[in-house]
Amino acid sequence: MHSRDRKEQNSPEARALRQRIHSHFHYLYDSAINHGLKSSDFEKIRAVVELREDTDNFEIPDYVFKYFGAWLFLFISLIIVYLSEWPVENDTLFKFWMDSKGVDSKSHRCAVEIFDFVQEMSRPPVKSCDFCRNVKSVKRVENISPEQFEKLYAYSGRPVVVKDGTKNWTASQHFSYQFLKTVYSKNSTALRNVEEHCQFFPYKSKFKNLEEVFEMSDDRAYMKDKSSPWYIGWSNCDLSAANTLRQHYSRPYFLPQQSESSKTDWIFMGSPGYGASLHIDYVNHPSWQAQITGTKRWTLEPPPECYFQCPRSFTVTVQPGEIIVLDTNMWYHSTLNVGENISITIGSEFD
């Protein structure tokens, strides 16, 4: 088909004509069905028979097969190279792939991102909606014993905010953007380990790694220059940094005596006006998150299979010094830093 013919077929007038023909055909088809004709009767119409024959004789151009074959060959070749690690090792192949996409291979450990809808399709449904049934708000408690906490909240899936959760901690007196910048100073072992071995979540702040975060000027970090809000998170898997930070916080007093916290803590930090979009986590246990500085508003929603048994959504605002306990494997949640100060939270899982 000539390029001129293609242009004429794709012109606004041609598209409008096709739309009118499509509408008229559906009108005639519906009218015929309403008057007693069957779908099989249409197959006897000569024009339909000729159209079907033309469609059956349609041939796919050779270039389509060549294009598809080339991609299939490349895909199979990459799998063979990956499995055999010949003629290049996987680390080299991974670095080449990430460099071709303009992504830092040290801070991003996934060659192919899993789309949210793929994870959602593979998520097993919750066994029971008891965890969210009749839950219309998040209760706030204080001076709760480990026994009470275990009985009412620990493994029930029901969210709770412990108002005095960080009592006896000194984190609020020390944690700040500048303090964390010192802990993860440029060229330090802690920063290198985080970038090479820990997870980093830039969300949509355009930071490629933690080093870029701490290269911000104070004006940018505190949004004094009217910059866009930012929000990031990372897993603190470096032992030296963990020891420094844990001098200022400890295991929450209300956790059940027999429970164990994850060895890796999570740190989330960001300016007011930004946070994490609605999502569900794929971790092994319930988790706690302590609000060290700033204020964070959480929006919670039950999973779709519980929509008709539980309230659709509700919010809770966590203030400095409070700890929210939540099973993020069950509750869809989003966060938004509110107020005027940078929000810094630290959290972990418990079993």
Do residue 167 and residue 246 come from a single domain?
Answer: yes
CB 316 within 8 A of CB 138: yes
Question: Could you tell me if residue 74 is inside a domain?
Answer: no
Query: Nearest 5°: CA angle at 139, between 134 and 143?
Result: 140
CA distance 221 to 190: 21
In sequence order, the 6+-apart residues with CB closer than 8 A to the CB of 100 are none
Do residue 38 and residue 159 come from a single domain?
Answer: no
pLDDT digit string, tens, across residues 143-155:
999 999 999 999 9
Do residue 205 and residue 311 come from a single domain?
Answer: yes
Predicted pLDDT of residue 49: 61
Do residue 28 and residue 146 come from a single domain?
Answer: no
Do residue 38 and residue 179 come from a single domain?
Answer: no
CA distance 45 to 56: 17
CB 321 within 8 A of CB 172: yes
Q: Which domain holds residue 13?
A: 3-56
HSE-CB of 53 using CA atoms within 13 angstroms:
7
pLDDT digit string, tens, across residues 238-248:
899 999 999 99
Do residue 33 and residue 169 come from a single domain?
Answer: no
Do residue 12 and residue 134 come from a single domain?
Answer: no
Q: Which amino acid is at 163?
A: K
Q: Is the predicted pLDDT of residue 4 greater than 60, yes or no?
A: no
Q: Which amino acid is at 330?
A: M
Question: Could you tell me if residue 162 is inside a domain?
Answer: yes
Do residue 51 and residue 129 come from a single domain?
Answer: no
Question: Could you tell me if residue 39 is inside a domain?
Answer: yes
Do residue 212 and residue 308 come from a single domain?
Answer: yes
Domains held by the chain: number: 2
Read off the DSSP letter of residue 341: S
Taken in order 290, 296, 299, 303, is the CA torsion positive or negative? negative
pLDDT digit string, tens, across residues 187-200:
999 999 888 888 89
In this predicted structure, which of 30-34, 215-219, 264-268, 341-345 has the lowest mean pLDDT? 30-34
Do residue 151 and residue 15 come from a single domain?
Answer: no
Predicted pLDDT of residue 3: 47
CB 273 within 8 A of CB 294: no
Question: Could you tell me if residue 96 is inside a domain?
Answer: no
Quick one: tokens of 180? 């964390």
Predicted pLDDT of residue 89: 74
Quick one: tokens of 323? 């700890």
Question: Could you tell me if residue 200 is inside a domain?
Answer: yes
Q: Is the predicted pLDDT of residue 212 greater than 50, yes or no?
A: yes
Do residue 51 and residue 128 come from a single domain?
Answer: no
In this predicted structure, which of 7-16, 316-325, 342-351 has the lowest mean pLDDT? 7-16
pLDDT digit string, tens, across residues 52-64:
555 455 566 676 6
Question: Could you tell me if residue 94 is inside a domain?
Answer: no
Q: What CATH code is carried by the domain that includes residue 138?
A: 2.60.120.650
Greater pLDDT, 96 or 131: 131
| Domain stop point among 11, 29, 56 | 56
Question: Could you tell me if residue 24 is inside a domain?
Answer: yes
- Termini Cα distance of the chain: 66
pLDDT digit string, tens, across residues 250-301:
999 999 988 877 778 999 999 999 999 998 888 889 999 999 999 999 999 9
pTM above the 0.75 mark? no
Strand ranges across the sheet with 200-201: 139-141, 160-162, 323-326, 287-293, 343-349, 265-270, 231-236, 200-201
Q: Is the predicted pLDDT of residue 118 greater than 60, yes or no?
A: no
Strands 343-349 and 265-270: antiparallel
CA distance 325 to 253: 13
Do residue 51 and residue 145 come from a single domain?
Answer: no
In sequence order, the 6+-apart residues with CB closer than 8 A to the CB of 345 are 267, 268, 269, 289, 290, 291, 292, 296
